[in-house]
Amino acid sequence: MTSPQGFRAAGVSAGLKSTGAKDLALVVNDGPAYDSASVFTSNRCKANPILWSQEVVKDGTVRAIVLNSGGANCYTGAEGFQTTHAVAEQVAARVGIGAGDVVVCSTGLIGLANPRQNLLDGVDAAHAALDGSGGAAAAEAIMTTDSVSKQVVVEGAGWSIGGMAKGAGMLAPQLATMLVVLTTDALVPHEDLDAALRAATRVSFDRLDSDGCMSTNDTVTVMASGASGITPSLDDFTAALTQACTDLAMQLLKDAEGADHEIAITVLNAASEDDAVTVGRSVARSNLFKAAVFGKDPNWGRVLASIGTTDAVFDPADLDVAMNGVWVCRQSTPHDDPATVDLEPREVSVTIDLKSGTERATVWTNDLTHAYVHENSAYSS
């Protein structure tokens, strides 16, 4: 994230995590430009940092992002909002900018007040530790149940994109939230940043559906420092940003809590891209299908049953389904022997041919495992 020019970052321990691990990250854009764009969770129950940050990003300028793990600051009332505000003010005072240019992100349990003084002291420590190579420490400080930190660098022609992420999907396990910060030293006006970010997230984070549960705190923000002095074409920049987002999305998929398999559900020959996504998501949300993959059982009947719950265009009597390339179902009847499908490897592909058009999409999910139930039944206790 500090690979592009013009950014400093830090990750410190503010004492929010009982383990003493790093739990507060600060990322500062040193310019000369301060363009930004953001997308937030579409959950109507939004955390205090979302309520704050939605206002901050409206003018297209963000100069710093402060993130904490160890508490989502969601449904903590007016006092929780004041904590978010105070943290932004502290960052602004230390960096010498306005609080209205500081995005705040939090992740952890809902309904738990974050200790304000810890956060303010943490901001001071992070500010003191800001460094042009602090990206890795920042990525570490936003981890909750993540087993590894997630970073990405994509190189352009004389410019680059960096990024970090935490969580296990847009639809996040444990409501521990997906937080993503992207940086670039390309010179990109905020309107173009916004268009590129929406295009990139639409085909990456938006198609990750690990457990069907949408967080209250999801935030993706990109900041452009312009420090390279180069303005790439919008197409080139969008392609690079899409690559960065997809790379981070795959890292989230592979680290999803308790998962044994990464499942790519590709829907072919749909009447519309929306139909393809709808069908893919319906399969991604079938607990029965996901439990079957955990059990290494190529149960294509559960795929058909999920497709049947959608309003996509298709003929229920003419569906083809493949698992790992074996067409176990043709024209909605049994075809190749499911026993030849090897579900030992972590990566699983499901291909669904709707035979109703020319559009396609891939939705990614994980299997439903004992470990998922275990981790999510013991979270707040």
* E strand map for the chain: 7-12, 24-29, 35-40, 64-68, 102-106, 150-155, 160-166, 179-184, 219-224, 262-270, 320-323, 326-330, 333-334, 347-353, 359-366
**Does 376 interact with a copy of itself (rule: CB under 8 A)?**
yes
Q: How far is the CB of 136 from a copy of itself (least distance, A)?
A: 30
**Does 106 interact with a copy of itself (rule: CB under 8 A)?**
no
CB atoms near residue 376 (< 10 Å): 17
Task: Please give the structure tokens belonging to residue 106.
Answer: 């939090």
Q: How far is the CB of 58 from a copy of itself (least distance, A)?
A: 20
Q: Which of 241, 251, 225 is nearest to 65 (CA)?
A: 225
Determine which one of 41, 84, 145, 177 is catalytic: 177
Helix (H, G, I), strand (E, B) or coil at 201: helix
Q: How far is the CB of 367 from a copy of itself (least distance, A)?
A: 8
177 a catalytic residue: yes
Match 């900041």 to its residue by tokens: 223
Considering beta carbons, is residue 233 or 377 the nearer one to a copy of itself?
Answer: 377
Considering beta carbons, is residue 138 or 329 the nearer one to a copy of itself?
Answer: 329
Please, which of residues 57-96 interact with a copy of itself by CB under 8 A? 72, 74-77
Binding residues: 144, 166, 177, 257, 376, 381
- Provide the terminal-to-terminal Cα distance of the chain, rounded to the nearest Å: 34
CA atoms in the 13 A half-sphere facing the CB of 188 = 29
Please, which of residues 305-364 interact with a copy of itself by CB under 8 A? 305-310, 316, 319, 329, 331-334
**Does 44 interact with a copy of itself (rule: CB under 8 A)?**
yes
**Site residues, a copy of itself (CB under 8 A):** 43-46, 72, 74-77, 109-111, 173-175, 211-216, 285-288, 291-292, 294-297, 299-302, 304-310, 316, 319, 329, 331-334, 368-370, 372-374, 376-381
